[in-house]
């Protein structure tokens, strides 16, 4: 039972363009959502988060959008840079519990 | 310079052997976690601890054991009962203390390989 799904295993984008990474969840009790970036053989790095009381959160080049009715969130990276090439995981949490539930990740490749 | 350290970076296990992965944090976080990552999969929770001397099983605790004797340390033992231990193991910590909107921060990971 996969409660958090990232249906695109990979995404290729040209430098300077927008990258859009998508994530769907099934558990309506999830009310806090996070995006992590991971390079090979390293631990994930926290990027940005959003609580269910908001529908958008921005931090520099990164914006997360939350559509609660569709149980969908997306991460926009504008403009994309080659250093953004990594695997991106979305994670969701029911704030009544300590546990994060992770998606399977999307590998982003930004080409010069 | 606060952070989470994991050692060793690579670890080799022989058949029937128990091995222990180290995780230390100096962020003054109450909560600590162990995850396992397999190729093409997300992170799966093995064990977590919200406070010293207390820990709970995650989704895939079979074949693993933990202890939490100190706030800074949360070692994970991979026992011989774990039949498929080859994976990338990640330790994380968070403030805990009942905070709802909190972020987990990760260490650099340990790759465990079976000889």
Q: Tens digits of per-residue pLDDT, A11-27?
A: 999 999 999 999 999 99
The pLDDT tens digits for A52-109 are 999 999 999 999 999 999 999 999 999 999 999 999 999 998 877 778 899 999 999 9
pLDDT of residue A106: 97
Residue B98 is predicted with a pLDDT of: 66
CA separation for the pair A73, B62 (Å, rounded): 32
A51: CB partners within 8 A, 6+ apart = A31, A32, A33, B101
Q: Which residue has the higher pLDDT, B97 or A36?
A: A36
Rounded CA separation B109/B7 (Å): 8
pLDDT at A49 > cutoff 80: yes
**Closest residue on chain A to B90 (Cα):** A43
Per-residue pLDDT of chain B (115 residues; tens, 9 = 90+): 679 999 999 999 888 899 999 999 999 999 999 999 998 888 999 999 999 999 999 999 999 999 999 999 999 999 988 889 999 999 999 988 766 677 899 999 999 998 8
pLDDT at B102: 79
A48 touching B (Cβ < 8 Å): no
Q: Which of A32, A44, A46, A48 to mutate to test the interface with B (most CBs of B within 10 A)?
A: A44
- A98 interfacial to chain B (CB closer than 8 Å): yes
A45 touches chain B (CB under 8 A): yes
Which residues of chain B make contact with A44, given a CB cutoff of 8 A?
Answer: 43, 90, 106
Q: Cα(A71)–Cα(A94) distance, rounded to whole angstroms?
A: 14
Instruction: Dump the DSSP string for B3-42.
Output: -EEEE-SEEEE-TT--EEEEEEE-S--SEEEEEEE-TT--
As beta bridge partners, residue A91 has: A34, A102
Residue B88 contacts A where some CB pair is shorter than 8 Å: yes
- DSSP reduced 3-state for A79: coil
Distance CA A107, CA A38 (A): 9
């Amino acid at each position: 039972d996969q409660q958090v799904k990232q249906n695109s295993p990979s995404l290729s984008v040209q430098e300077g363009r927008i990258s859009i990474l998508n994530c769907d969840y099934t558990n309506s009790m999830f009310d806090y959502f996070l995006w992590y970036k991971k390079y090979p053989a390293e631990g994930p790095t926290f990027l940005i988060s959003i609580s269910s009381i908001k529908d958008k959160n921005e931090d520099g080049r990164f914006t997360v959008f939350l559509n609660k009715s569709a149980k969908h969130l997306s991460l926009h990276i504008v403009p994309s840079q080659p250093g953004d090439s990594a695997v991106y995981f979305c994670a969701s949490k029911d704030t009544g519990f300590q546990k994060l539930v992770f998606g399977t990740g999307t590998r982003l490749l930004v080409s010069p | 310079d606060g952070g989470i350290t994991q050692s060793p970076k690579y670890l080799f296990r022989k058949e029937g052997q128990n091995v222990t992965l180290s995780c230390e944090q100096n962020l003054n976080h109450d909560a600590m976690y162990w995850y396992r990552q397999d190729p093409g999969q997300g992170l799966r929770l093995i064990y977590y601890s919200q406070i010293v001397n207390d820990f709970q099983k995650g989704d895939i605790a079979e074949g693993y054991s933990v202890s939490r004797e100190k706030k800074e340390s949360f070692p994970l033992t991979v026992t011989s009962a774990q039949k498929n231990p080859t994976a990338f193991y990640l330790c994380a910590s968070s403030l805990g203390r009942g905070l709802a909107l909190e972020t987990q921060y990760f260490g650099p990971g340990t790759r465990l390989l079976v000889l």
